[in-house]
Amino acid sequence: MSDLPHPKVAMQSTRILKKRRVAGVPWYFLAPALLAYILVVVYPIVAGGSYAFTDWNGLNPVKTFVGLENFRRLLQDDQALSSLKNTVLITLSVTLVQNTLGLLLALGANSTIRTRFLLRTVLFAPAVISSLVAAYLWQYLYDPNVEGGINALLTDVGLKSLRQDWLGNPQLALFAITGTVVWQYTGYSMVIFLAGLQGVPVELYEAAELDGAGAWQSFWNVTRPMIAPAITVNLMLSVIGGFKLFDQILAMTGGGPGYATSTLSLLMYKQAFVFSRFGYSTATALVLAIIIAGVSLLQLKLLRSQELEG
């Protein structure tokens, strides 16, 4: 961007004519985008936020204001409470596993190994396919009774005792879904870490080595601060993605067994489009939105403070 040539002549004449010629890009540059954005995003969000305080069922044209009633009910609803717990649990587990694996793979790929470009291409591939397809593929692998599934593979290698009903066991199902998400997006995390790693000047490692730093010290004191923006971006993406997780859950378990894998996104969908409780559904959406907005703002703030330091 900064390496573009500066045509001197144009710059000088610009100064003279700036006021008359350049002042104000016309409003019609902005109007179509602003109109689309307000109609499709802003207005529905404001309206949705207000429905959260009504008992609207979608049919009755009268929306009665019920104050915080929907939120009070949310706090007493077993399904809502399990959904909240599951949403937090799956977000934390995906974030932790995906980023740890992604970072390790990025460190491995940021080396002189010969297959590094091929490996990067293959590892990233799952991230471009539909999450619904990934979910069905893993539903097959988790199926306890199919040939070539995880249980069959465990039997083949003599680990029969580890066989499980992966998606049918309420203790395991949520983590089985975590596995699917981690499989699909670890390559994505890796690519972002890799971009960060490639920006670290080699001289810094040389200097650290001269100062007698070991591999761990050089990682902690050189790599980690240098890739801080990549860490923040990755955490933000996986946290927000985790909170919004929907496709995989609808496809693999539908929230079951019981409410064992129900999340806030799934609950919100079911309340609105299965049970027609629109007021209650938008209250759930509002809780989800506040959590996501809070986490995003916090992380953006962290990102900015790191950028200032760097």
Residues in region 111-170 near another protein by CB under 8 A: 111-116, 119-133, 136-138, 140-141, 146-148, 152
Minimum distance from residue 161 beta carbon to another protein (Å): 21
Residue number with CB closer to another protein (99 or 171): 99
Number of residues that bind another protein (CB under 8 A): 108
Residue number with CB closer to another protein (260 or 288): 288
Distances (CA, A) of 28 to 33, 87, 205, 295: 9, 43, 52, 35
Q: Please report whether residue 215 would count as binding another protein according to CB under 8 A.
A: yes
Q: Please report whether residue 241 would count as binding another protein according to CB under 8 A.
A: no
Minimum distance from residue 84 beta carbon to another protein (Å): 15
**Closest alpha carbon to 124 in 186, 170, 77:** 186
Q: How far apart are the first and last CA of the chain?
A: 20
Q: Which amino acid, one-letter code, is at 251? A: A
- How open is the CA angle 250-252-254, to the nearest 5 degrees? 40
Tokens 């291409």 belong to residue = 121
User: 92 is written with which tokens?
Assistant: 């934390």
Residues 220-239 within binding reach of another protein (CB under 8 A): 229, 233, 237
Residue number with CB closer to another protein (245 or 260): 245
Whether 135 and 252 have beta carbons less than 8 Å apart is answered as: yes
**Closest alpha carbon to 256 in 243, 247, 269, 266:** 266
Q: Please report whether residue 75 would count as binding another protein according to CB under 8 A.
A: no
Stretch that binds another protein, among 87-95, 161-169, 182-190, 255-263 (CB under 8 A): 182-190
Residues 273-302 within binding reach of another protein (CB under 8 A): 273, 278, 281-282, 285-286, 288-289, 292-293, 296-297, 300
- Mapped onto helix, strand or coil, the DSSP state of residue 165 is coil
Q: Please report whether residue 207 would count as binding another protein according to CB under 8 A.
A: no
Residue number with CB closer to another protein (78 or 276): 276
Residues 15-34 within binding reach of another protein (CB under 8 A): 17-18, 21-22, 24-27, 29-30, 32-34
- How far apart CA 177 and CA 10 sit, in angstroms, is 58
Whether 99 and 234 have beta carbons less than 8 Å apart is answered as: yes
Stretch that binds another protein, among 37-45, 66-74, 75-83, 159-167 (CB under 8 A): 37-45
Whether 208 and 222 have beta carbons less than 8 Å apart is answered as: yes
